[in-house]
Amino acid sequence: MKVDYLICGAGATGLSFLDVILSETDATVAIVDRRDAPGGHWNDAYPFVRLHQSSSFYGVCSRPLNTPRLAEGGFNAGLFELSTKSEILHYFHDLMENTYLPTGRITYFPMSEHVGDGQIRSLVTGKVTDIQIGKKLVNAGLWGDLGSIPSTHNRSFDVATGVECIPPNDLPQRAPGHDAFTVIGAGKTGMDAVIWLLDRGVEPANITWVRPNDYWLFHREKIMNHPDFFDTAIDSFQAELAAFGTASTVTEYCEQMEKSGMWHRIDPEVWPTKFHAAVCSNTEIEALRQVTDVLRAGHVTRIEPDRLVLQDAEVDVAPGRLYIDCTARAGTILGPDAPPIFDGDTINLFMVRLFQPLFSAALIAFLEARVADDQVRKACTHLVNFHDTPAQYLAEARNGMLNQGAWTQVPELKAWIDKCRLYGMNHLLVGLTARDSEKLKKLSRFAPLSKAAVENIPRILEHERA
C-alpha cells in the first residue's frame, strides 16, 4: 500500500494534523493506533474527567466540538460548560467514521502499531502490512508515549496485601461501602478525585489528601475565550504579559500573577512551587479548601493496612480506607536531545504554543501543506516544552512568543490563523468591528507588552540561575 503520509497515533493531535492535511491537500493517509478507537488517551481517561477549559477551541479545525453552553449550576456555574469524556470520544469517533473514512483517502489501522520502515503490525492477529510512505512519517503519539495516565501507569510505591488502592477510573464502582478515602497526588487528577468525592456527598473530614507539592492554578473565570468575557480575558492576558515584562524574579512574577487574579492556589498559607497550567474555578477552589487533612511529608513509598509510609513521615491509618492513586504524570519534559518538529522525512507533533497541542498540530500540518521553505518552518516551530515549575513556564512562554512573532511574518500562515477555530483568541474577537474603539485600543497594547516580555524573561531566568 502506498500513501503520502503515515500518522502514528489516532489521538487528538494526530486527528488535528489529519484534518488540516485533508482540507489543504489531496494527500492520502494511513493512520495507525494501538487503541481500538480514535481519541487517544481519552479512551483510557477516568469517567468523570472534563476539559479544563471551554471546548470552543478544542478538537479539529473543521468542526466545533459542541455548541457553547453556560453551566447553570455546579462547580462551573456561570461559565462555559466543560465537555465530558463521552462527548469528546463521540466527537472523535464520529469524525473518523463519518467524515474522514468516507473521503476514500484514509486507511485506518486500529489495534495496530508501526514497528518501523513502514510496517504496520496488528496487535490482534500479528499480521504485517507494508506501507510505502510517499512524503512523511508523522509521530503523533510520541509525547504521549513518554508520559503516563492513571489507568495504566506503574506505581512508584508499594501496596501491601489487603489494601485497596485504585486508579480514579475505578472510583465510581469502588467508592460505595467505604467511609474514608485517601487521594494520593496533588495535580489536576487528584483535584478531580477530591471534587468527585465531595460532589457525591463525602464529608471533607473523611478525605485525606497526600499533597507533596502545591500548584499554582489558572483562574478559569479570568480566561474564558468568549466575547461575553472579552474585557476580563484581555485584561488577564495583558496582566500576564506585564508580569513577564516587569518582574525581576520568578517569585515576583508569581506574586504579580496572583495579585492580578489570573493565578490562584488552594492553600493561601502554602507557597506553590509547581505549575502545570491546570485550571480551576473559584467554586472548585473553595470546595478543595474544605479538605484540611493534607499530608505534606513527601511522596508515598508504601501503603500498609494500618500505616501510610511517606518519604518524611509515617502516619497511622484505620483499616478499610480506599486509596485513589492520582500520581500518573501525563506531561513529560523533553530533553535537549528531542528531535526537531520538521526532521527530514519525519514530522514530530510537539507543541508550538503553550497548552494547545491541537492547535500546534494543525499549524504544523498547514506549514507542511502550504509553506515549503524549511527555514520559515523552523522559525515558526520552536519547541514549546512541558513545564514543571514557574521558572520553566517562563522559558516556554518566551518560545511561544517567538513562534507567534514568526507567524505574523508569513502572510499565508497569518491569514489561516486568523480563521482557525483552534486559536483561542479568535473566539474573543467574534463580532468585533471598527466601531469598537475601546476594545481595539486594548488589543493594540499586546505588541509592546509582548516585546517587553520577550526581552525581560531571560533577565528573570538569569537571576534565578545566579
Give the pLDDT score at 425: 93
For 11, the 3-state DSSP assignment is coil
Tell me: pLDDT of 247 over 80: yes
Q: Which three cell numbers, joined as nine digits, stand for 379?
A: 522559525
Q: Domain for residue 389, yes or no?
A: yes
Give the pLDDT score at 87: 96
Q: Say which residues have a Cβ less than 8 Å from residue 268's Cβ, sequence separation at least 6.
A: none
Residue 257 and residue 182 share a domain: no
Residue 56 and residue 7 share a domain: yes
Which of 76-80, 191-195, 212-216 is the least confident region? 76-80
Confidence of residue 329 (pLDDT cuts 50, 70, 90): confident
From the list 112, 257, 286, 300, the residue with the least C-alpha distance to 198 is: 286
Q: Which residue has the higher pLDDT, 172 or 55?
A: 172
Q: Domain for residue 424, yes or no?
A: no
Give the pLDDT score at 330: 73
Give the pLDDT score at 22: 98
Q: Say which residues have a Cβ less than 8 Å from residue 266's Cβ, sequence separation at least 6.
A: 214, 215, 217, 285, 288, 289
CATH of the domain at 102: 3.50.50
Strand 29-32 and strand 106-109: the pairing is parallel
Q: Domain for residue 296, yes or no?
A: yes
Residue 357 and residue 320 share a domain: no
Q: Domain for residue 338, yes or no?
A: yes
Tell me: pLDDT of 306 over 90: yes
Residue 115 and residue 51 share a domain: yes
Q: Which three cell numbers, joined as nine digits, stand for 337?
A: 536531545
Q: Which three cell numbers, joined as nine digits, stand for 356?
A: 494547545
Give the pLDDT score at 69: 82
Residue 283 and residue 236 share a domain: no
Tell me: pLDDT of 143 over 90: no
Tell me: pLDDT of 362 over 90: yes
Q: Domain for residue 13, yes or no?
A: yes
Q: What is the pLDDT of residues 337-351, one digit of tens each?
A: 999 999 999 999 999
Q: Which three cell numbers, joined as nine digits, stand for 431?
A: 463580532
> How far is the first Cα of the chain from the last one, in angstroms, to the nearest whole number?
57
Residue 358 and residue 318 share a domain: no
The pLDDT of 56-65, averaged and rounded, is 95
Domain that holds residue 252: 229-261+431-466
Give the pLDDT score at 466: 77
- DSSP H helices, 247-317, are 250-260, 282-288
Give the pLDDT score at 422: 96
Average pLDDT, the chain: 95
The domain tally of the chain equals: 3
Phi, psi dihedral angles at 457 (to 5 degrees): -55, -45
Give the pLDDT score at 142: 81
Q: What is the pLDDT of residues 363-387, one digit of tens each?
A: 999 999 999 999 999 999 999 999 9
The pLDDT of 431-437, averaged and rounded, is 92
The pLDDT of 289-309, averaged and rounded, is 97
From the list 412, 387, 369, the residue with the least C-alpha distance to 274 is: 387
Q: What is the pLDDT of residues 66-114, one digit of tens each?
A: 888 888 888 988 888 899 999 999 999 999 999 999 999 999 999 999 9
- How many Å apart are CA 169 and CA 149, to the nearest integer? 10
Tell me: pLDDT of 261 over 80: yes
Residue 386 and residue 445 share a domain: no
Question: What secondary structure letter does DSSP report for 352?
Answer: S
Q: Domain for residue 143, yes or no?
A: yes
Q: Of the candidates 325, 345, 360, which is a domain's last residue?
A: 325
From the list 125, 113, 143, the residue with the least C-alpha distance to 30 is: 113
Give the pLDDT score at 141: 83
Residue 107 and residue 43 share a domain: yes
Which of 236-240, 310-314, 342-346, 431-435 is the least confident region? 431-435
pTM: 0.96
Residue 52 and residue 124 share a domain: yes
Residue 252 and residue 164 share a domain: no
- How many Å apart are CA 135 and CA 150, to the nearest integer? 36
Give the pLDDT score at 331: 73
Q: Of the candidates 303, 325, 347, which is a domain's last residue?
A: 325
Give the pLDDT score at 300: 97
- How many Å apart are CA 174 and CA 171, to the nearest integer? 5
The pLDDT of 323-343, averaged and rounded, is 91
Residue 347 and residue 299 share a domain: no
- How many Å apart are CA 391 and CA 459, to the nearest integer? 12
The pLDDT of 151-170, averaged and rounded, is 93
Residue 54 and residue 102 share a domain: yes
CATH of the domain at 205: 3.50.50.60
The pLDDT of 235-260, averaged and rounded, is 97
- How many Å apart are CA 348 and CA 31, to the nearest integer? 15
